[in-house]
């Protein structure tokens, strides 16, 4: 049977994935060849930070208000797996720009599950 710790663990996994992409994007922003490229990276980083904050903000509500913890953990695990899959494809600016919508969508699903939406 799933526990609140299972939800917390999946939330932590999702946050760790987003944090990894923030760190990677920050390093790439610092190495950008132009101000325009730095600005694009900055936009990506802002979106990732906001989504990470959404996940964190919803975690405790999700832990305490999930009507069926087992179903919530399974849904959260699937959403986190999707988030990890999309994040794995993001390696260069073009792939960040191509996959940012998919990553944010996957993160939205994590937030939705945590918030009970």
* DSSP helix/strand/coil, 25: helix
Nearest residue to 4 via CA among 83, 60, 77:
60
Task: Give residue 27's pLDDT.
Answer: 97
Calculate mean pLDDT across residues 102-108: 91
* Domain chopping of the chain, boundaries: 4-115
Distance of CA 97 to the CA centre of its chain: 15
Tens digit of each residue's pLDDT (9 = 90 or more) over 20-75 = 999 999 999 999 999 999 999 999 999 999 999 999 888 766 666 656 666 777 88
User: Is 91 a residue whose pLDDT tops 80?
Assistant: yes
The pTM assigned to this predicted structure is 0.66
């Amino acid at each position: 049977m799933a526990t609140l710790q299972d939800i917390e663990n999946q939330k932590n996994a999702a946050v760790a994935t987003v944090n990894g992409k923030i760190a990677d994007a920050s390093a790439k922003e610092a190495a950008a060849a132009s101000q325009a490229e730095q600005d694009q990276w900055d936009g990506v980083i802002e979106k990732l930070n906001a989504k990470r904050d959404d996940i964190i903000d919803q975690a405790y509500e999700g832990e305490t208000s999930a009507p069926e913890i087992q179903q919530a953990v399974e849904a959260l695990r699937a959403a986190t797996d999707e988030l990890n899959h999309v994040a794995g494809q993001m390696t260069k600016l073009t792939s960040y720009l191509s996959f940012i919508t998919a990553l944010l969508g996957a993160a939205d699903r994590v937030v939705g599950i945590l918030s009970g939406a």
